[in-house]
Amino acid sequence: MEYEMHFVHAPSASGKTTFLKTGTPSQLTIRREGQDLILPNTLYRHGNIGVVDGDDIIHFTIGWPPNKAWWQQRGATYVHAANLFAIVNTALRLNAPSWMKHFVIMFNGGMKQLGSAENLYMYDRETDSRVTFHHHTVLPTREIHERNIEARKQENLAEGRSWSFPRNWGDANNNRESVQKLAAMLGVGVSETFEEALMEIDSSYSSKTNTESVREKEEASPSTDWEFKFAARGYKDSDPPNGGSTRIVWENRGWFLVLKLFDDGGVFPAYPRTIKFWRTPEFSRDHMKWTSAAHSFIPSKEEMATYLDVLRDMWKEVPKEDLDKLWT
């Protein structure tokens, strides 16, 4: 496994979601039988650390009980266990981006059945070896926590939601005590801020990396974090071996860059040649057609170098001042 896995346990309304979104949005890709589950803008990049909200993993996998007060009902222990199993199982099934060295899941500190989840699921499916989840805890100051609780209430009222948790300081303090007990059980320290927790995870982390300047730098080049997905000659299975065109596809954060080159007897003429950007829903239909084609192939290093040279030439002609519209 090319990335280490971490839990950052923190109470509700401690600012988890607000903090993780100070990073650069990326996509979370979960390996599944058949088609992968791709969740754009779910993973947030903080240096070489990828951070995700555990609530989102549950939402997109097993889902939450319809009863918002499930934690007060009979069977709550089973829900805690199911949530934890879903998170741990997902963490082991990622197609991790090349930049990610640490995968961090931020989650509420009141977790049950932690040892059971690790005993059942903490095995690398490719090597059948035991892997380790590293645990960290965060407790903001009472002043900050109370301010967050009030801000959450006001936000919910403004958006017409009657439900809010924590309902009061009593709920929040119970949650804080759960985090403290968990830290004691795990034998780990307690940080006051999420920046401190990420510095504990990786000494190279600096909150200064989570700025607009870094975001601009990462989006300035068409090759940054673009991963090769597949190539195909021809469009349908019935096309001849030289189907008249070659398509090479790269993917980045839920966007697909498709380079289409018309083949003239093994030589790519100057024209026509096109590049297109696709968002996931529109692209997936064509993706299925292309990957099912009999003429899909893995480019050699020499072929890929040729494709990249063509792409660079075309990139010079792209009106880059309009590119920001693609990501809004």
For 274-298, what is each residue's pLDDT tens digit? 887 776 656 666 665 666 666 778 8
Question: How many domains would you assign to the chain?
Answer: 2
Please tell me whether residues 148 and 280 are part of one structural domain: no
pLDDT, residue 211, reads 35
Strand partners, 50: 45, 103
Is the confidence at residue 259, as pLDDT, over 90?
A: no
The residue among 219, 247, 282 that closes a domain is 219
Confidence of residue 101 (pLDDT cuts 50, 70, 90): very high
Q: Are residues 15 and 153 in the same domain?
A: yes
Q: Are residues 24 and 161 in the same domain?
A: yes
Measured torsion, CA atoms of residues 260, 263, 269, 271, in degrees rounded to the nearest 10: -40
One domain, residues 198 and 139: yes
Does 212 share its domain with 269? no
Global confidence as pTM: 0.61
* Residue 190 backbone phi and psi in degrees, to 5: -120, 125
**Pair 158, 88 in one domain:** yes
The pLDDT assigned to 195 comes to: 93
Which amino acid is located at 188 in the chain?
V
- Residues above pLDDT 70, as percent of the chain: 76
Q: What pLDDT is stored for residue 144 in this prediction?
A: 92
Q: pLDDT tens digit string along 39-83? A: 888 999 999 999 999 999 999 989 988 887 777 788 888 888 888
Q: Last residue of some domain: 219, 249, 268?
A: 219
Q: What is the CATH number of the domain that holds 125?
A: 3.40.50
Q: How are beta strands 273-279 and 255-262 bridged, if at all? A: antiparallel
Same domain, 143 and 196: yes
State whether 189 and 252 are in the same domain: no
Domain boundary among 184, 199, 219: 219
Q: Does one domain contain both 237 and 168? A: no
pLDDT (0 to 100) of residue 293: 65
Q: Which domain holds residue 292?
A: 221-327
Length of the chain: 328
